[in-house]
Amino acid sequence: MAVIEVEGLKKYYGDVRAVDGISFTVLKGHVFSLLGPNGAGKTTTVEILEGLRKRDGGRVRVLGEDPENFSNSVKRKLAIVFQETALFDNLTVMETMRFFQKVYGGNSSVERVLKDLGLWEKRKALVRHLSGGQRRRLALASVLSHDPELIFLDEPTTGLDPAARRKIWEIILDLKRQGKTIFLTTHYMEEAQFLSDVVCIMDRGKIVEMGAPEEIIKRSGLKSVVKATLHGNEITIETDEPERAVKELIEKGAEEINIRKPNLEDVFLHLTGRELRD
Ligand SMILES: Nc1ncnc2c1ncn2[C@@H]1O[C@H](COP(=O)(O)OP(=O)(O)OP(=O)(O)O)[C@@H](O)[C@H]1O
Ligand SMILES: [Mg+2]
């Protein structure tokens, strides 16, 4: 079932074609990621889907409705986590949850949500005493009390250390297991590759590639590179079957074997001639 349908979406700011005729579908229970460099049009796209910006052209349906005219019943099925969700520094974690529960009218157990997100031990801590990763988890927790069906996450792990990032990834996969649909924007290709059912790579307002991460990599035709030292000589092999190449190299007595498989970053570079990150 399609939760989001977008056809020929356009948004221009003067001469800047922020979103330039893009089309995609997001299925229920999927993690769908918009990946692209700074200025690609990710935030513009996601804010149009959330009903926060008006579009200049195209057709958009989110949970069956046009975001420019969302009904209250659809709004209650959405959760939006901004990169910088405003939290009150002088409230405790528990007070923050109660506040947002009143705002969203949710009735899920706050205890369950905090435990799921690893914040139960911090329930009496003031928000201003939380670490960056804990704040980000609280921002996510605060929109889960009304049990949303569709969750928008704009760059959920930007600026976090690897452990905090992993923790957020686990939470996202857990929400997916509960059948929720997650719409993610990120410029971390490892994040998109690890979490997504479908990755949509955007650049300069257009979609340059879309599909399951493995499928995109396969379609690019990029090969794995295996390097090794064989009888004192350094060798490099390009192959579609790196495991087999490694097995053969071991049999021949090769040492210092190193495999590098292509990733989404390589695909982006291959398609656009530019790096994903500035
Ligand atoms: N309100 C606005 N007024 C004018 N131009 C805008 C506005 N919002 C976005 N743009 C322009 O549209 C383009 C896409 O911006 P957008 O914020 O959607 O990119 P992004 O992919 O989210 O980038 P980032 O990774 O840096 O967050 C950029 O060139 C930006 O300068
Ligand atoms: Mg953005």
Binding site membership of 40 for ligand 1 (Cβ less than 6 Å): yes
Domain ranges across the chain: 223-261
What is the arithmetic mean of pLDDT over 10-17?
96
267 CB burial (10 A radius; 0-12, 13-18, 19+):
buried
* Greater model confidence, 178 or 104: 178
What is the arithmetic mean of pLDDT over 204-223?
95
What is the arithmetic mean of pLDDT over 181-191?
92
Per the CB < 8 A criterion, the answer to whether 137 and 121 are in contact is no
Binding site membership of 83 for ligand 1 (Cβ less than 6 Å): no
pLDDT of residue 81: 87
CA of 183 to the centre of ligand 2 (A): 13
The model's pLDDT over 68-95, given as tens digits with 9 standing for 90+, comes to 999 999 998 999 988 777 788 999 999 9
- Rounded to two decimals, the pTM is 0.89
The model's pLDDT over 22-71, given as tens digits with 9 standing for 90+, comes to 999 999 999 999 998 888 999 999 999 999 999 999 999 999 999 999 99
Three-state secondary structure along 189-205? HHHHHHHCCEEEEEECC
Task: Spell out which residues have Cβ within 5 A of ligand 2, the ion.
Answer: 42-43
What is the arithmetic mean of pLDDT over 158-168?
85
Binding site membership of 16 for ligand 1 (Cβ less than 6 Å): yes
Structure tokens at 88: 């009150």
pLDDT of residue 110: 87
CA of 104 to the centre of ligand 2 (A): 25
